[in-house]
Structure 1
Amino acid sequence: MYTIGQFSKIGKVSTKTLRYYDDIDLLKPIHVDSENQYRYYSDEQVLIILLISELKEYGLKLEEIKVVLDRQNAALLKEFLMNKIAEIDNEMQRNLKLRNLIQSKIIKIESGGNLMETQDLKVELKERETLTVASRRATTSMENISNVIGKVFEDIYHMNLQPSGPVMTVYYDKEFDVENADIEICIPIIKKVSTEKSDNLKEFMGGLTACTTFIGPYSKLGAAYAKVMKWIEENDYKNAGAPYDIYLNGPRTVNNPDQFITEVCFPVIK
């Protein structure tokens, strides 16, 4: 048998970690001396501690590792590892997008661009028509909005309908929460059925809106929001509903985020 000190060297983990593994029933010593409470480990446990350390390097959670060891289930381990690969792929895509944004910023700096970019945003009043839309409301992270949009397009397809306008996102939160945003995705459709026959169809009410058109990545839309909010205050209007974005183009049609065109709209009353 191995002492806890010897076993920590074998597994390249601290004795504190081994005691924690014991506490959570992940890896218990084969024997504990009743007099001095010294822990001892067996030859058979060497492969277990090495596997635990390996799976931790892959990024698996201790709870996942424990389930795999308890069940001795190779198929379950494969599922966890495939999920981890998907997480890594998503992270790589996010890092690639971030790299491209940083590279674009460097190019602008090298070409003599300003540290803080500004647009000559103009606010105008528009009387919006009421639209029939396919919609889904969700509390989700900002990164997941594209998945909600995809589900609305799936709804439109399954109902054998056709989109008739650009995607809109309505924001219901009073305070912005990037991880738990209360949003609604609405896509105008060519009306063929009654909205009363489907939970995913509704009338998107029109009315007076203060709007501005912003060109650039979604991460900088705050400038457009600030412009419209200031205009509303200076011109003695009041908010009359949740603001929404209209994506006049986007990632589906344009590769460069600097070319995204978004209309920011605030329902207002005098």
Structure 2
Amino acid sequence: MSYQVTLTDQPGVLAARKRVRTPAGELTRALGDGFASLFRHTAEQGATPVGPPQVAYSGEFAPDADVDLDLLLPTDRPVEPGNGVEPARLPAGPVARTYHHGPYDRIGAAYEALFAWIADHDRRQAGPPREVYLTGPDAVSDPEMYLTEVVVPLVPTGN
């Protein structure tokens, strides 16, 4: 699969965040449970989601190790902390992004394309990469139809 990487400026966004540590083999369950918790807490707070759910991988990813995740749900207003959920803000700034079409187990190629682009363009990463789930198992039954935006925040040029 070929990936087109684009550079864009992303606006700052309020979000509800839930931090999760899980064995890599239990990632699917952890994401499902975590996102359910985020949506429930957001609804209980009277906040409205204003974008698709996202996950930031804050550490190294190894198939046989635990994975640290920040599950994020953009919201129209801050949420109060509770149930393991806390308010957060996704910072504004430049990002490199690409789109992955297909099952999540093949998304590694999108990361490879992004990091190659970043190196080729002499840019520096400013934060953990994020996956933005545009179309997933909640909307389609065929994993070949999944659409995930993969985003890497960048240090602004001149910094």
TM-score, with structure 2 as normaliser: 0.87
1:127 aligns with 2:13: no
Task: Report the alpha carbon displacement of residue 206 of structure 1 after superposing the two structures with TM.
Answer: 2.0
* Matches of 1:165 and 1:178, distance apart in 2: 31
Distance 1:176 1:261, change over 3 A: same
Q: Which residue of 1 aligns with 2:106?
A: 220
Gaps of 5+ in 2: none
Residues 210-258 of structure 1 show CA distances to partners (whole Å, capped at 9, x for unaligned) of 0001100000000000000000001111111110000111110011100
| Percent of residue pairs bearing the same amino acid type | 26
How far apart, CA to CA, are the structure 1 residues paired with 2:135 and 2:68? 23
More helix by share: 1
Show the counterpart of 1:264: 150
Is contact 1:155-1:200 (8 Å) kept? no
Residue 162 (structure 1) aligns with = 48
SS in structure 1 opposite 2:141? coil
Give the Cα separation in 2 of the matches to 1:122 and 1:132: 28
Matches within 5 A, 1:37-52: none
Work out which of the residue numbers 139, 149, 158 in structure 2 matches 1:253: 139
SS in 2 for 1:200: strand
Tell me, in whole angstroms, the C-alpha distance in 2 between the residues paired with 1:206 and 1:260: 26
Identify the residue that residue 6 of structure 1 maps to in structure 2. none
Residue-pair matches, total: 149
Alignment of 1:94-133 (within 5 A): 119-133=1-15
CA pair 124-178 structure 1, distance change in 2 beyond 3 A: farther
1:85-139, Cα deviation, whole Å (9 max, x unpaired): xxxxxxxxxxxxxxxxxxxxxxxxxxxxxxxxxx221000011111111110110
**Judging changes above 3 Å, is the alpha-carbon distance between structure 1 residues 185 and 178 closer, same or farther for their aligned structure 2 residues?**
farther
Larger fraction in strand: 2
**Uncovered stretches (5+) of structure 1, i.e. residues with no partner:** 1-118
Q: Normalization by structure 1: what TM-score?
A: 0.53
1:21-72 deviations in Å (ceiling 9; x for gaps) = xxxxxxxxxxxxxxxxxxxxxxxxxxxxxxxxxxxxxxxxxxxxxxxxxxxx
Q: Residue type of the partner of 2:3?
A: L
The match for 2:90 is 204
- For the aligned residue pairs, the C-alpha RMSD in angstroms reads 1.5
Cα deviation, residue 179, structure 1:
4.8
